[in-house]
A and B are shown apart, each in its own frame.
Chain A
């Protein structure tokens, strides 16, 4: 017996969740693109295609206010942001590469000092993952230890079935709660046939071996070869489900304004530029080296995790064709 939900009931579930006051984010068609966006109703859901941007905005918005300030006769006052106002969210239809990413990012936002902006959004979010049935040339989740059927990071996991509908697997207590809250939408089915999962090209990469190579090759021609062409647009970081770097900026006047936390990218020249003009990563290939090292060495050194889920967005959208998958495979051969 398998627990299943029909296509129609999944859309009804979304309607009910929205009706219950939750923000439901899921893949939605916008023009030519599929993007993760708040759904207005279950009819908006357009599952199965990898959305153009990752789902990280659900926890880590592109730009968010971290405080407001105002000067009056009595002096300057700073007002905190009330994280209790963050919306209860259900992320539905997150493909395994997107569903697995927050667990990776949790480490940096929760070690030592706790970033409650990220963490409170995480606490308030339930993830309904979706098994992946369509991979393209750029996909490489299987290289970094994940797979199209990986349930890591999901609270509830859906697998598309032949003939429509999904089988449902509760992965966490939170997933179980969802099943318990809407029992009438799910049914027990005697026998189910899952759609064949996607098969990204390329076998697993020995990430420990890659890391070992990186350890010895901070200085290596490979960095010039693969990244001198980088134009520093930052698309890779902005589309990446795991890139977490940010900037802190004030918007306003000295008398009144907000302080914001905005996405930033290590590809940008000013990212590390000192006020004096000195820049430790003064060349584009050094910036790319940092990006690669951060994902496959530094983050692992620090937190024991790889900062990449193999979604392939950085490959698909790179205007100069930098191929992180190809680099991993090349290093694996060395």
Chain B
């Protein structure tokens, strides 16, 4: 057990209790804190992130992908693309990883009560919205319609496939799934087309609706004008910025966009806030 009295860089230790391969290079972990007190007291809000460490390789930043409405564990989801994520991938069930957090701001879920919810996301950007989606579904009666537009390059690149199926089957969720042109097999039963195009065709109503958008910069760039066209105001659109981070605590100096520290002022921003920033992200 670590003494968390003073050292802000000291991680909690957690055990990998479950893992799942979402795609060929994307893996999910379920993590349970080893210290009983941390296990009971660790609380977070949808949208917050953590620093996950593979000891010997270092720390990497991902969102907490599980909803705060589920207790006793947290989940994360990552693609193996570098030293730390490769080392995390090399870990097995029962192994220990470090978790520092939760950090950053969060989605103002309570302000969304009574609203229709639209989630627009692509590829590995589903995890940061998955926490909100489940948060909403676990408190289903507090929200209006729930629509999810999710796309990936190909069928294989869709993450949380079993949950997509579950959402598809639920009568109280509308899931529009799509793959990029060329990314489908003959048995594909979803749409074919880029997320912004498919969103425009699906044309969800902007009335009393909050849109949460998360995806690669190029997807966000082309999605925002579509939402605008559909009648969403910049205050009704939320997104997350995903800059490189080290400390997660507003000290190490690299995640800033202008005078905005993504780790402290974000990662959740409205479209209005994003538009007011220097375009350097």
List chain A positions with a Cβ less than 8 A from chain B.
66-67, 69, 71, 75-76, 78, 80-81, 83, 108-109, 111-117, 218, 244-250, 252-255, 257, 259, 261, 264, 266, 271-276, 278, 280-281, 286, 290, 293-294, 297-298, 301-302
Contacts and interface: CB of A to CB of B under 8 A. Distances in A.
A278 B254 contact: no
A290 B81 CA distance: 27
Taking residues whose C-beta sits less than 8 angstroms from the other chain, chain B's interface range is 35 or more
B30 interface: no
B87 A247 contact: no
A297 to B, nearest CB: 7
Contact of B55 (A247, A250, A294): A250
Contact of B85 (A69, A244, A275): A275
Interface in B28-61: 34, 53-60
Interface in B44-87: 53-60, 79, 81-82, 85, 87
Nearest to B2: A78
Interface of B: 2-3, 6-11, 13, 34, 53-60, 79, 81-82, 85, 87, 96, 98, 216-217, 242-244, 246-247, 249-259, 261, 264, 278, 280-281
B10 A116 contact: no
Interface of B is mostly: loop
A248 B254 contact: no
B7 A66 contact: yes
B251 A80 contact: no
Contact of A248 (B2, B96, B247, B278): B247
B208 to A, nearest CB: 34
Contacts of A254: 54-57, 87
Given A67-B9, A218-B278, 9 more contacts: A69-B55, A76-B96, A114-B6, A244-B251, A252-B56, A254-B87, A271-B254, A274-B243, A298-B259
B259 A301 contact: yes
Nearest to B262: A280
B7 A108 contact: no
B259 A245 contact: no
Contact of A111 (B243, B250, B280): B250
Contacts of B53: 250, 259
